[in-house]
Structure 1
């Protein structure tokens, strides 16, 4: 959070990043960037590059969508406009050095999902590498730098939340996940993650409330279904777990973890024949692994149990 209004002013005044001084001259130009409805777009990154000088600089739009370029040389300039959530725009313009240049008006098209620029992609790659290496504090700093540079990249709050989660700072993780929901209220994965923060804090009822927000019929990812089912299983809600495991293996019939857990859920509920059927299905896909030996033991035990009960 910025601490004072004057700090914002300083940041805006310092927003032009000089790449080289060869582009300098006597010309000036200004422009405005709008969305498709004509609303001004703030914090659009404007990259200006002089072909004659082979150098350029960057600036950003203000709250009115306005940007300015002063003391630039004449000639052909390539100008790029970038903002997270909008299709990048590229134009070429002839800038006059000794007479007035007309204002430029640009409209940017909003698109679904996150537009990944090369700069953002590199920072994200680095953060993901650190996360996978279990260097969660360093990964956190990398993701945080992305949000500071690209404040519209709201989905990165999920990555930050995952770092907090791994560091067992569940309250902070939840705060980050909720920031994603503010922009994408139907994000099933994030609802699951919020539920997990409650489950790891031992607040099972709250966890179940969040899992229940996820519309079952709309979930078509077997991993998400499996994860929700496992959370229900871990808090002894076996009937609920069964529903999610069944759906997971319906979508992906060779999903070994899903088949294994579905068999365990049937076994726990005393559905012995159903458990046998699922475990035998598992063995058709995985006959030789260490887990297959365990599954084979379950089948033998259950068959004997059914035989002895007759």
Structure 2
């Protein structure tokens, strides 16, 4: 009996070890770091209940949290390295970013704006309006799969209502299926009365897939003045900057700052682009404006060094 008891104990210890090992694998993102952020709409109003999904690239593990009434969120005890972070809220366009975070020392606060997701379907035959309204209502409630079913049934029954492919694309985009979203946006292009809106949606979806070349190709169909999302303009500017197309990056960053004066990320990149162009006076002006909104972070210290080098 004693031998059997020891066997049970040994088996129990082994089982517990396996459970702990699996649990530790699921929390491989844990470390000593910390990062916090704020999520607002495009008017600067805080958004509560935004799901913030954090994924540590190296450990292939992550977790999620939500914003409070002030739009604030915090992620504590995290490892350093590259993180993919998604921000999701029903009725808003999902935002995806990739950032490098430090485990030791402070990380910059991450400030994100979410844009309202388009819902209306233009130029729809009158006899379909009730069903379209039903689909739009479901979409605004965050019931994207149900809204998708409504719009797909309408397109199946009324093939000439091709404009509704735009609504289908919006549903797929909110569900994170950006490849399918792009397909349906393109199918709506001929029937959609606002081609700029379609190109912006296509470009935004390509950016979410990190297909920067294709995003640029789509967004170049639209004048920058037609783009009202500062985050989209910032991403477009970064795509141009990465391709060393500073003449195109600068107007995109300028437009982003025009829409959101305290957009420090855009101000920083705009100043950096001006330095790359050798336009020191404009770089100084932009970087000094940056310090009006951020004078204490690690990046602010970097900006101060940049300004000294421009004297």
Q: Tell which structure's C-alpha radius of gyration is larger.
A: 1
| TM-score category, normalised to shorter length | 0.3 to 0.5
TM-score normalised over the length of structure 1: 0.45
TM-score normalised over the length of structure 2: 0.45
